[in-house]
Structure 1
Amino acid sequence: MSEMNPLNSKIIFIIGMMLWLIVRIPYQRQQKQNTIVDDRKTIQEKAIRLLLLIGILFLPLTYVLSPWLNFANYDLPIWAHHLGIATLVPALWLFWRSHRDLGENWSSTLQIREGHTLMTHGVYQNIRHPMYASVLLLCIAQALLLPNWIAGLSGFVSFSIAYATRVDREEQMLLNRFGDEYEVYRQRTKRLIPYVF
């Protein structure tokens, strides 16, 4: 068989998304209990989060659960299916590990909490934004597992916009909070890919 089975790919993607959401649930609960000392949640921030939700969850689920986006389907070889799975697994692991290493410091928006500490160990030892890296990997897996010009690529498009408009603001917030400590950390690490980018 030279082409991938779309149903198998859809099932694997759905399982991946369910695991993704399960990882985040306890941290979202914990986040509600923390006291916020610096909140930079703006209309732009809310719009970016909505865009990510549409690109990574809503459009893929529409494609998986209905025929509405089938007009934009394309064919992929079987190796793309395998590469999609191979990309999804480290995306899920990195997403889980990023949350675990951050612990109480995690926030879904641009916020600093009371008692916030700078995370420089675990997966944060070599890259400053492993959670963004995990989302990037998820978006690559999405494009490989969902062969559809809309649902497959919507995650990558929304992530690119979110990354371009958010990461500098996040780093500035951390620089304001931790000063030289964050600048030293920033100088010795990469944003997304260790030793590269």
Structure 2
Amino acid sequence: MDLSIQNTSLVATLTLCGYLISLCAKTPNPNPTKSNVKDRIALVTDTSKPSQFLLLFIFYHCVLILFPNDRTSFCLNADLLNEDLFTWSPTSIAFVVTIFIAAPIRLLAYATLGKNFTFRLNKPKNLVTSGMYAYVQHPSYTTLFLINVASAFFWMRLDGISACYLPSFLVKVKGLNWVAGLAMSVFTTLGLWVRVKDEEGMLKNEFGQYWIEYHRKTKRFIPGIV
């Protein structure tokens, strides 16, 4: 077992990242039991529990970090693991920085919207235009996209922990490492765009001209840009 400062600090940091991600994956308020609002991705979002797979991924990843000399005992293709994912490297640092920036912003969106924030669409009691919402309409969706994509490119790569249970010929295929990340990027983009259109339609019907003016003055995802 390697308890060097580098390894223990990385394990602690990745564990914190996992905790933040799990908070972002849990709805801050109960979803409405009945809602007549159009919500085409309700089945995907109608949950309040973080993925158990995430917890398993984090634990397994940390074990591989702490036991670098014993990986062959519990990893099928230990020799094919990308060390950039199991040490402090530009790859792991980029992942950590993304989570440390995106997750707090999403959690701040939870706090700002208060009871209005549910994973399943429901008519809000009021249109919140203060705080970060004075500059951007959907900060929680922007940060959710970043969290999902960063997690996919870091934890779902074939030369990561997936190499421990996949056939070696798959792990060796060049370019296949990016498939999971790209697939998650496309899936997340499509899902969020559908949600945004449904949510904006609901807000327009509910708040009329007030929402139209707010929508005209602010950007959707990134302040001052888009």
Is 1:125 aligned to residue 121 of structure 2?
no
Which residue is 1:93 aligned to?
104
Secondary structure of the residue aligned to 1:119 is coil
Change (3 A) 1:25 1:61: closer
Runs (5+) with no aligned partner, structure 2: 1-5, 61-74, 158-176
Q: Which residue of 173, 178, 188 corresponds with 2:202?
A: 173
Letter paired with 1:109 = R
Over the matched positions of the two proteins, sequence identity in percent amounts to: 21
Structure whose alpha-carbon radius of gyration is higher: 2
Which residue is 1:16 aligned to?
17
Alignment of 1:37-186 (within 5 A): 38-41=36-39, 44-46=41-43, 48-49=44-45, 57=51, 60-61=54-55, 63-64=57-58, 76=84, 78-113=89-124, 116-146=125-155, 148=157, 149=177, 152=181, 155-186=184-215
What is the TM-score normalised by the length of structure 1?
0.71
Q: Deviations over 1:112-161 (max 9, x none)?
A: 14xx1001111111110011011122124314532614665564343222
Letter paired with 1:119 = V
The alpha-carbon deviation at position 22 of structure 1 amounts to 3.8
Aligned residues: 183
Asked whether the equivalents of residues 87 and 140 of structure 1 are also in contact (C-alpha less than 8 Å), the reply is no
The alpha-carbon deviation at position 105 of structure 1 amounts to 1.1
CA distance, structure 2, for counterparts of residue 171 and residue 125 of structure 1: 16
The alignment yields a C-alpha RMSD, in angstroms, of 3.9
CA distance, structure 2, for counterparts of residue 90 and residue 121 of structure 1: 20
The alpha-carbon deviation at position 38 of structure 1 amounts to 4.5
Q: Deviations over 1:2-30 (max 9, x none)?
A: xxx999767644432323434676822xx
Change (3 A) 1:7 1:96: same
Asked whether the equivalents of residues 27 and 119 of structure 2 are also in contact (C-alpha less than 8 Å), the reply is no
Is 1:196 aligned to residue 225 of structure 2?
yes
Asked whether the equivalents of residues 92 and 134 of structure 1 are also in contact (C-alpha less than 8 Å), the reply is yes
Q: Which moved more, 1:174-183 or 1:157-166?
A: 157-166
CA distance, structure 2, for counterparts of residue 9 and residue 154 of structure 1: 27
CA distance, structure 2, for counterparts of residue 154 and residue 11 of structure 1: 29
Change (3 A) 1:164 1:25: closer
Change (3 A) 1:181 1:194: same
Change (3 A) 1:104 1:76: same
CA distance, structure 2, for counterparts of residue 140 and residue 8 of structure 1: 23
Secondary structure of the residue aligned to 1:111 is coil
Runs (5+) with no aligned partner, structure 1: none
